Amino acid sequence: MKKIIIAILLITTGFGCSNLDLAPLDARSELTFWKTDEDANIFLNSMYADIWNADAYLYFNALSDDAYTRREDYRNIGNGNYDASNGVVTGAWSSRYEGIRRANIFMNNIDNVEDISESNRESYKAQARFIRALHYFYLVELYGDVPLVIDEISIDESLQLVRTDKSIVTDFIYTELATAINNLPETDEPGRITKDAGIAFKSKVHLYNEDYQSTVNLAGELIGEYSLFPDYEGLFQPQNENNDEIILSLQYIPIDREHNNQYSLIPPSQSGYANFSPLQELVDSYLTIDGKEITDASSGYDENNPYVNRDPRLEATILYNGHSWTDFDGSQITIDTSPGAEPNGYNYSSNTTQTGYYVAKYFDINARNQTNSGLDLILIRYAEVLLNYAEAKNELGSFTEQDWDMTIKLIRERAGLIGSALDFPGGGQASLRTIIRNERRVELAFEAGHRFFDIRRWRLSETVNSGWLHGFKTDESLEDDGYIRVDFRTFDPAKDYLWPIPQSERDLNKNLTQNPNW
């Protein structure tokens, strides 16, 4: 009996031919990574993808008075109907910290790589520092004080984190960017974070923190080093990617890495679904072609023929009723957004515009299946540097005609404004501030959430993002002079200038305090 049992056990052991130490067929162990330049390089590549995703790049603009979206999480932030469980509020937090983790992993391991040149090592590190600093920049802008994590922390450590004062995080950003700028590559490789990108970004961070002299100094280093692309409309077209105005763009390519923002922008007749509709408030902010506000009695603005004689950027940015358009097959058509008009009219169907406007900017006529595009999304361009410079100079009270000529005038000229629009308006700091801010709004419309962040730092949200925001004039209702009511915005300045810390984070970590009044 015993013999038999032993025999069975032996055979059983023989049966156990299946090995229990199985390694994956498609992944390496962490222990064998970080050996070569290529390891470091591909790890760095994945960090670039964290900078912004195309979806947020577009929809953050709908949190401002520039656009309206039906997407609930965004819409509800825009109109003040949100809480600490809102998907965009939690998503922005977690995606930034994921990016920070990747950067921390990179910084902890890059020095262990043996098969790499020192110059590459330093260049990679500088790029990683830039990306990590960018994550923290957006975090402090959105949430104020946030945990400053610069190491590969354990789960237990993550459960104990406390919020770091915004000023300390900002100092960290400055230090990191300063270090990065010293080692960032000076290269023409499109998409690469360069030394100039570091300088431009740092100047923006100073601007946001009202350290205007630093903004001026840094932006000044770039003035004259770049040029504005001659055609504003063409600036956002695929054939002109990586032109001389671009300092840093989020890179996409057809098929293998594409975004489908176009689906939300173009009219249904072009296969679009209007999920992102420009508001009348933005349309009204475009000056006349000679630089007058439309409310100016002398502007010649005709409410019944509102799109003529306007800043040409209006036509390049917004697809309004009667806009002529090149169809995918190259034919010229006219977009009719008037109420009930088939197939693109307001209220014609649930995929038509909610405001009477579609978006012309970013149109990629070669988009795969009409909506999948490989178009790069610009993160930093020279015009922004000029606008940062102009704004900072004006805040310092030293904005001169010479400054005007080297900033706003160039931008307006390129845009196609004429006559008095190009002349230095003078009129003192306050009126120049209005002009510079409006210039920034129309020049950078729908790019990287600029307007959303700008009205927050200007403390304008409760003024401009409050009450009914409108679509075009249909006269279907007598209210608001016949402009359709689109979205009722509320903004509580005591609360909404900071997003709430996500509830899910505070549920796990009791050390995380909440922002005021949330």
Partner 1 sequence: MIKLKLIILFLLLGFSLNSFSQDRVITGTVMSNNQPLPGASILESDTSNGTVTDFDGKFQLRLVSSSSKSIIASYLGYIQKEVSLLGNVDAFEIVLEEDLSKLDEVIVVGYGTKKKVNLIGAVSVINEKSVKGKPVTNAYQALQGESPGLQIQQGTSEPGTLPQINIRGISTINGNTPLIVVDGIVSSLNNVNPNNIKSISVLKDAASASIYGSRAANGVVLVTTKNGVEGKPKFVYNGSFGIQEPTNFPKFVEPWVYATLRNEALVNSGLAPAFSPEDILAYKEQGYHGNFYEGLFKDYGKQSSHNLSMSGADNGLNYFLSLGYLNQESLFKGPDYGYKRYNMRINLDKKINDKLKAGGRMSFVRNDIKNHAWFTEWLIEPTMRIPTIYDDVDENGDYTLVSGSNGNSLARLEKGGERNSQNDEFLWNVSLEYEPLNNLFIKGVFGGNIVSNKTHEFRKAIEYAYPGGGDNQNQVADQYGRSLYLNPYLTANYNIEPLENHNLSFMIGGSSESFRTDFFGVTGLDVAGNDFGVIDNTSEILQSGTYGSGNEWAIKSVFYRIGYTYADKYLLEGNVRYDGSSRFGSDYRWGTFPSISLGWVLSKEKFFETISEVVSFAKIRASWGQLGNQDINDLYGYQSLVNTSSSVYSFGGVGVSGAYYSVSNQSRTWETSTMKNLGIDLAFFKNKLNITAEVFDNLTEDILLQLPVPATYGLGQPFQNAGSVRNRGWELSVDYKMSTGKVNHSFSLNASDNVNEIVDLKDKEFINGGDVQTILREGFPINSYYALRSDGFFQSEEEIANSATPIFATSVKPGDIKYVDKNGDGDIDYEGDRFIVGNPFPRYTFGFTYRLDWKGFDFSMLIQGVGKRSQWVRGEITEAFHNSNEGPVFPRHIDRWTPVNTDATYPRLTVGAESVNNAARSDFYIQDAKYVRLKNIQVGYTFPTSIASKVGFDNARIYLSGLNLITLSPMNNGLDPEVFGGGAAASGRVYPVSKVLSVGLDINL
Of the candidate spans 56-64, 80-88, 388-396, 449-457, the one that interacts with partner 1 by CB under 8 A turns out to be 80-88
Omega cis (within 30) before 343: yes
> Which of 19/305 has CB closer to partner 1?
19
Shortest distance, position 175 Cβ to partner 1, whole Å: 21
Joined together, the tokens standing for residue 517 give 């009044």
> Which of 45/117 has CB closer to partner 1?
45
> Which one of 120, 338, 347, 515 is in contact with partner 1 (CB under 8 A)?
347
Q: Are 282 and 67 in contact (CB under 8 A)?
A: yes
Is residue 459 a contact residue for partner 1 (CB under 8 A)? Answer: no
Is residue 147 a contact residue for partner 1 (CB under 8 A)? Answer: yes
Of the candidate spans 200-208, 305-313, 429-437, 506-514, the one that interacts with partner 1 by CB under 8 A turns out to be 506-514
> Which one of 167, 182, 227, 369 is in contact with partner 1 (CB under 8 A)?
369
Of the candidate spans 83-91, 174-182, 287-295, 304-312, the one that interacts with partner 1 by CB under 8 A turns out to be 83-91
Joined together, the tokens standing for residue 167 give 């000023």
Of the candidate spans 96-104, 219-227, 296-304, 379-387, the one that interacts with partner 1 by CB under 8 A turns out to be 96-104
Shortest distance, position 239 Cβ to partner 1, whole Å: 12
The distance from CA 270 to its chain's CA centroid, rounded to whole angstroms, is 25
Cβ-count burial 235-265 (b if 16+ within 10 Å, e if not):
bbbbebbebebbbbbbbbeeeeebbbbbbbb
Distance CA 204, CA 212 (A): 10
Shortest distance, position 468 Cβ to partner 1, whole Å: 9
Shortest distance, position 349 Cβ to partner 1, whole Å: 4
Shortest distance, position 488 Cβ to partner 1, whole Å: 6
Beta strands in 41-161 (DSSP E): 67-69
> Which one of 271, 338, 438, 515 is in contact with partner 1 (CB under 8 A)?
271
Q: Hey, which residues between 4 and 33 contact partner 1 (CB under 8 A)?
A: 4-5, 8-9, 11-13, 15-31, 33
> Which of 85/431 has CB closer to partner 1?
85
Q: How many residues does the chain have?
A: 518
DSSP string for residues in 169-230: HHHHHHHHHHHHHHHS-----TT---HHHHHHHHHHHHHHTT-HHHHHHHHHHHTTTS---S
> Which of 25/430 has CB closer to partner 1?
25
Nearest to 411 by CA among 388, 450, 443, 435: 443
Is residue 378 a contact residue for partner 1 (CB under 8 A)? Answer: no
Quick check: helix, strand or coil at residue 473? strand
Beta carbons within 8 Å of 393's beta carbon, 6+ residues apart: 212, 216, 399, 400, 403
Shortest distance, position 511 Cβ to partner 1, whole Å: 10
> Which of 271/299 has CB closer to partner 1?
271
Q: Is the dihedral angle over the CA atoms 476, 482, 483, 487 positive or is it negative? A: negative
Q: How many residues bind partner 1 (CB under 8 A)?
A: 107
> Which one of 111, 171, 182, 190 is in contact with partner 1 (CB under 8 A)?
190
> Which one of 2, 114, 118, 155 is in contact with partner 1 (CB under 8 A)?
155
Is residue 82 a contact residue for partner 1 (CB under 8 A)? Answer: yes
Nearest to 105 by CA among 30, 172, 36, 49: 30
**Phi, psi torsion values for 98, nearest 5 degrees:** -65, -45
The neighbour count for residue 308, using CB atoms within 10 Å, is: 12
> Which of 367/386 has CB closer to partner 1?
367
> Which of 83/401 has CB closer to partner 1?
83
Beta strands in 113-152 (DSSP E): none
In degrees, rounded to 5, the angle at the alpha carbon of residue 453 between the alpha carbons of residues 130 and 401 is 90
Joined together, the tokens standing for residue 359 give 């978006």
Q: Hey, which residues between 480 and 499 contact partner 1 (CB under 8 A)?
A: 485, 487-488, 490
Is residue 441 a contact residue for partner 1 (CB under 8 A)? Answer: no
The neighbour count for residue 500, using CB atoms within 10 Å, is: 24
Joined together, the tokens standing for residue 254 give 């057809």
Is residue 161 a contact residue for partner 1 (CB under 8 A)? Answer: yes
> Which one of 200, 206, 261, 267 is in contact with partner 1 (CB under 8 A)?
267
The HSE-up count of residue 37 (CA atoms within 13 Å, CB side) is: 9
> Which one of 36, 108, 159, 401 is in contact with partner 1 (CB under 8 A)?
159
Nearest to 246 by CA among 298, 190, 202, 325: 190
Rg (CA), the chain: 26
Shortest distance, position 236 Cβ to partner 1, whole Å: 17
> Which of 110/417 has CB closer to partner 1?
110
DSSP string for residues in 399-415: --HHHHHHTHHHHHHHH
Shortest distance, position 83 Cβ to partner 1, whole Å: 5
Q: Which amino acid appears at position 195 of this protein?
A: K
Joined together, the tokens standing for residue 30 give 């962490």
The contact pattern for partner 1, residues 40-79, with x = CB under 8 A and - = no contact, is --xx-xx-xx--------------------x-x--xx--x
Is residue 167 a contact residue for partner 1 (CB under 8 A)? Answer: no
> Which one of 35, 56, 144, 158 is in contact with partner 1 (CB under 8 A)?
158
> Which of 120/347 has CB closer to partner 1?
347
In degrees, rounded to 5, the angle at the alpha carbon of residue 162 between the alpha carbons of residues 157 and 167 is 130
Distance CA 260, CA 319 (A): 18
Is residue 341 a contact residue for partner 1 (CB under 8 A)? Answer: no
> Which one of 114, 118, 186, 189 is in contact with partner 1 (CB under 8 A)?
189
